[in-house]
Amino acid sequence: MSENSPKKLLEAAARVMENAYAPYSKFRVGSALLTDDGAIVTGCNVENSSFGLTNCAERTALFAAIASGKTKFQAIAIVADGDQKPYPCGACRQVLAEFCSPKMPVYVASRGELDAFESTTLGNLLPKAFRL
29 or 77: whose CB is closer to ligand THU?
A: 29
Q: Evaluate whether 55 touches 20 at the Cβ level (below 8 Å).
A: no
Query: Counting contacts by CB under 6 A, is residue 27 touching ligand THU?
Result: yes
Q: What is the DSSP letter of 51?
A: G
Per annotation, catalytic residue among 11, 18, 47, 58: 58
Query: Counting contacts by CB under 6 A, is residue 86 touching ligand THU?
Result: yes
Stretch that binds ligand THU, among 5-13, 50-58, 68-76, 109-117 (CB under 6 A): 50-58
Among 45, 96, 104, 111, binds ligand THU (CB under 6 A): 45
Query: Counting contacts by CB under 6 A, is residue 104 touching ligand THU?
Result: no
Q: Order the strands of the 40-44 sheet from edge to edge.
A: 40-44, 29-35, 73-80, 105-110, 118-121
Query: Counting contacts by CB under 6 A, is residue 54 touching ligand THU?
Result: yes
Among 10, 12, 13, 57, binds ligand THU (CB under 6 A): 57
Q: How far apart are CA 79 and CA 31, in angstroms?
A: 6
